[in-house]
Amino acid sequence: MPSYKAPIRDLQFVFHELLNADDTLGTLPGYEEMSPDLVDAILEEGAKLCETLLQPINQSGDLEGCRFTDGQVSTPQGFKEAYQTYAEGGWPSLAADPEFGGQGLPETLSFMMEEMINSSNVSFGLYPGLTRGAISALSQHASDELKSRYLPKMVEGTWAGTMCLTESQAGTDLGLIRTRAEPASEGTYRISGTKIFITGGDQDLTENIVHLVLARITGAPPGVRGISLFLVPKFLSDAQGAPGESNAVSCGSIEHKMGIKASSTCVMNFDQAEGYLVGPENKGLACMFTMMNSERLAIGIQGLGLAEVAYQNAVEYARERLQSRSATGAKAPDQPADPLLVHPDIRRMLLTTRAYNEGARAIAVWTAVNIDIAHRHPDPAAREAADDLVALITPLIKAFFSDYGYETTTLCQQVFGGHGYVREWGMEQFVRDARIAQIYEGTNGVQALDLVRRKLFIHEGRLPERFFDLLDGYIKQQQDNDSMRPFIDPLTQASNLLQGLTGWLKKRGEENPDELGAAATDYLRLFALTALAYFWAQMAGIASTKENDETGYYGTKLATARFFMGRLLPQIHGLAEGIRSGSGLLMDYEESEF
């Protein structure tokens, strides 16, 4: 059975030392009481929850899966009790608005907790994760009456939330949805249609489920211009706000999937169900994007979380498994063979995973800090700058984190050899669970298109320029620091390449839009690698000043930074060559030639 130990030390390093988030967040309105001790206490208690409650039921939950009986979904053994403990501990309310019963703590703490939950039990994490996204959408777009009726129970964790977008004929292209909304009495609507792939569409963890449903009001314009958003509860609330009679919402079936088997993925039927408009008519997609963007960040963190737990177990196995002798002579002469860890290729796989994980963790927490700044900073210019950076980085987190998460869980499985392919060791589950993150909440190809077709161009190109200014400013600050040359020189090269390629790609894309589509996936990865280099250089800069490090933590951080700069960052050159080869290599193929 696999094990998990939350990376508290590294989370603390990123939060307190790299980002100085105590000062940054502590100056924001509403966060004045936050202290380093409080942050550490929350991380430590969250780690205990994940290590002792969620991780032990992860493998058993995968084996048992969800069950669909007589129209009802049952989660695996132990999930209901674990969810009750999770809710009673106040974890759903961590960063929620105190007006609705939340604790009002920074979103950054939720992000760090999210990683630990995904490492310990990604299927479990999807249930409260979707609820957090629904809370965010309702908080920004629902009427005061809907907020007061539904948010307190959702924040408490007594009620859950879902996101109902996809239909059998309408995946990425939501303009094709057929679900209808007919105006009824007293401002209500009757919702009819079928949604598929609905995470947590039905479950036995909460008293009620609040579905956020995209539908088209009778007579609405075609395409995405005629989509509205509705709140459709599983149970209609009574006069006291408690779940009352059943709404006309039912689960038709659950999917039998490759992974995340303890998370119910449902076909949901709405048969004249009572619903309530959220936001303006025909503006539902814009309202739903509040939740979708939240979920895209959360899905990226799934990749990080699974890569972290896979790494931990692969390292433990590589230390203990004896296999062959080192090419440079026996390292364990008293044993019949040396541990796997002595072999260069094993180290390549492990260090690749570690370098990506620690760099991704820095980007994730930095993004979360910017979310808090965008929500709470008193200066509109500071809010705008932070919001620009979050918008720019969101597709990188969703796509790159989930891509590398799948790549590295597979590498860690490879460390186990044949044992990694069998169920007992748990590695094959990590690989299966990681695969979906590249697909749902907008496939990674869609994320790449969002980056190159939208984020590079909106606001006259302001978003990437914000990030390029950060790169240029840090490089200039360190240009006379000779001890930082091994990190600043490759960062400078990557930054120059990325900025030059961005200008080239925008010009080519204006001439031929297919150039953007052809370059998108490679460009996103190149951008992500450059962002990782920026944070690895900063982490190396901090670690290099810790001369009296008795723990070895900072020395290891420096060694990992060197590995990233020397072995992983050079991918950017091949990616750039592929991008500059143009769209013709793809588009000149005739359909008959495939």
Secondary structure of 199-265 in HEC code, one letter for each residue? ECCCCCCCCEEEEEEEEEECCCCCHHHHCEEEEEECEEECCCCCEEEECCEEEEEECCCCCCCCCCE
Looking at the DSSP bridge assignments, the partners of residue 277 are 230
Q: How many CB atoms lie within 10 A of CB 345?
A: 10
**In whole angstroms, how far apart are CA 474 and each of 136, 173, 537, 569?**
34, 40, 9, 18
Alpha-carbon dihedral 295, 301, 302, 304, rounded to 10 degrees: 160
Q: Taking Cα atoms as reference points, which of 327, 407, 317 lies closest to residue 360?
A: 407
Burial of 574 (0-12, 13-18, 19+ CB in 10 A): exposed
Alpha-carbon distance 230 to 138, whole Å?
A: 10
Alpha-carbon dihedral 228, 233, 239, 241, rounded to 10 degrees: -110
What is the Cα 565 distance to its own chain's centre? 24
Q: Cβ distance 311 to 412 under 8 Å?
A: yes
What is the Cα 593 distance to its own chain's centre? 38
Question: Coil, strand, or helix at residue 270?
Answer: strand
Looking at the DSSP bridge assignments, the partners of residue 278 are 229
Burial of 509 (0-12, 13-18, 19+ CB in 10 A): buried
Q: At what angle do helices 458-478 and 485-511 cross, to 10 degrees?
A: 160
Q: Cβ distance 61 to 24 under 8 Å?
A: no
**In whole angstroms, how far apart are CA 75 and each of 127, 132, 149, 437?**
11, 20, 27, 21
Secondary structure of 28-79 in HEC code, one letter for each residue? CCCCCCCCHHHHHHHHHHHHHHHHHHHHHHHHHHHHHCCEEECCEEECCCCH
Secondary structure of 111-178 in HEC code, one letter for each residue? HHHHHHHHHHHHHHHHHHHHHHHHHHHHHHHCCHHHHHHHHHHHHHCCEEEEEECCECCECCCHHHCC
Q: How many CB atoms lie within 10 A of CB 335?
A: 11
Q: Cβ distance 433 to 413 under 8 Å?
A: no
Tokens matching residue 408: 């590295």
Looking at the DSSP bridge assignments, the partners of residue 73 are 68
Looking at the DSSP bridge assignments, the partners of residue 231 are 212, 276
Of 156, 295, 441, 515, which residue is the catalytic one? 441
441 is catalytic: yes
Tokens matching residue 509: 């894309």
Q: Catalytic positions, please? A: 441
